[in-house]
Amino acid sequence: MDVLEETVVDLASTPVRELNKALHEAEPGSRWRVENPRGAHNVAVGIHEDIRVTVEGHVGYFAAGMHQKGWLEIVGNAGTGLAENIMSGTVHVTGSTSQSTGATGHGGLIVVDGSTGARCGIAMKGVDIVVGGDIGHMSAFMAQAGRLVVCGDAGEALGDSIYEARIYVKGTVASLGADCIEKPMRDEHLAELGDLLAAAGRSDDPADFRRYGSARTLYHFHSHNTY
């Protein structure tokens, strides 16, 4: 088997801007390894070619922001705003993430093996997010499209003011937000959840999950909602 050449970037000696510039100019199919991130912000933002990047260590805020293509793995934890506005491709975090994971994401897949902080999937617009552990409060706030899968528990006010998007939770939900309700699991939901879990490399049984989504009562203005 051919061993593909891998470019190593050591953030102990290379500024993040140089790393990101190199990743933006990378050849499709190239492989990259990033060492010593030491909690740096904005690591590997704006990747727009089909490349594979592994970051060895914990990253700070906004890692993998605007991820457009390719596969990025962070072997560690990530701070606030992981993969914010992701468009497509895959971002995998082996540890846990802070708040606003996948905020406003339009597409692609985010996999967090650990847990996330508050506001996971806030304003998500089509991204799929699979979390191995728990998610914090106000997750999927104003979610518009996409799927959020939680293999642990969800915090308070899940799916508050949700437009669309489907939420699957295996554990407990501390409370549902405004206009978010439990919905029946039909065959198509079991099938899409099975696909998402498989894509995330997980072996959880889709039958153990419950589905939540929008009651669609906030779509239109009602005069009785005035104060």
Partner 1 sequence: MCGIAALQLKDPALRSQLGTLMHGMLCEIVERGPDSAGISVYGDARLNPEGVATVSLLDAGRPDGDIAAALTDLLGVPATVTTLGDTTLASAAASTDELSAALRIAAPGARQIGRGDSVATLKGIGDPVGLAEQFGLESVSGTQGVSHTRMATESAVTASGSHPFTVADDLCLVHNGSFSNHASIRRTLKAQGVEFDSDNDSEVAARYLATRLQAGDTLPEALENLKAVFDGFYTLVVTTADGLAVLRDPIACKPAIIAETDQWVAMASEYRALAGLPGIEDARIFEPEPGEVYSWTF
Q: Which CB atom, from 156 or from 204, has the smaller least distance to partner 1?
A: 156
Q: Cβ distance 214 to 179 under 8 Å?
A: yes
Contact call for residue 108 and partner 1 (CB under 8 A): no
Q: Which CB atom, from 46 or from 114, has the smaller least distance to partner 1?
A: 114
In the complex, the smallest distance separating the C-beta of residue 113 from partner 1, rounded to whole angstroms, is 14
Residue 26 φ/ψ, nearest 5 degrees = -70, 150
Contact call for residue 77 and partner 1 (CB under 8 A): yes
Contact call for residue 79 and partner 1 (CB under 8 A): yes
Q: Cβ distance 59 to 43 under 8 Å?
A: yes
Q: How many helices (H) and strands (E) does the chain have?
A: 2, 11
Q: Which CB atom, from 114 or from 194, has the smaller least distance to partner 1?
A: 114
Instruction: From 72-80, 172-180, 184-192, 214-222, give the range in contact with partner 1 by CB under 8 A.
Output: 72-80
**Residue closest to 17 by CA, chosen among 43, 49, 37, 38:** 43
- Residues in contact with partner 1, shown as a per-residue x/- string from 41 to 70 under the rule CB under 8 A: x----------------x-xx---------
Q: How far is CA 23 from CA 47, 67, 154, 171, in A?
A: 6, 11, 35, 38
Choice from 137, 147, 166, 211 touching partner 1 (CB under 8 A): 137
Size of the residue set binding partner 1 (CB under 8 A): 17
Choice from 7, 22, 31, 39 touching partner 1 (CB under 8 A): 39
Q: How far apart are CA 14 and CA 72, in angstroms?
A: 19
Q: How many Cβ atoms from other residues are within 10 Å of residue 114's Cβ?
A: 17
In the complex, the smallest distance separating the C-beta of residue 60 from partner 1, rounded to whole angstroms, is 6
